[in-house]
Structure 1
Amino acid sequence: MNDGSMMEFYKEGNLLFYKTNNQIWGGLAYSGNNTFIGGVNDTEAIFELLPQGKANLRFRFSRRRELKLEGSKIYSY
């Protein structure tokens, strides 16, 4: 991510969970158009799918403060 952290996303059931620096932070539900929303709309992940299996991510987290991150896919399992 652009702040130097590492985010990881994985699917379990109907949710997309996200981890930051190996710590699970929450789950997101699909809301359409490559967008996932969590909680009471306090978390949002928007994926931009690119050619050759690449992707960009815009991530927003709003609780005590607003946090906006951007990153790119670097590997997949």
Structure 2
Amino acid sequence: MEALYREAILDHYKHPRRKGHLDAPDIQYHDHNPFCGDELTIELKVEDGVVVDAAFDGRGCAISQATASMIMEEIVGLSVDEL
């Protein structure tokens, strides 16, 4: 089971999904971790309170970048209240 998780993390790190920027995002959030240096910007397009597109950009360790990739895939279709 552990190998499966490791494989998924490495796949998302090497081949990130939804990495980049959106044209005219409705929501944009940027933050950084002063302890490790990771930086992340999240951009969302929202229609009628539902996330219709999502993207991220940034730099950091494999875990932070893979996690951002995984989360971007999961939040499309959720309401803003569910985030």
TM-score between both structures, scaled by the size of structure 2: 0.37
Higher share in helix: 2
Using CA pairs under 8 Å that are at least 6 residues apart, name the structure with larger relative contact order, 1 or 2. 2
- For the pair shown, the structure with the greater C-alpha radius of gyration is 2
Higher share in strand: 1
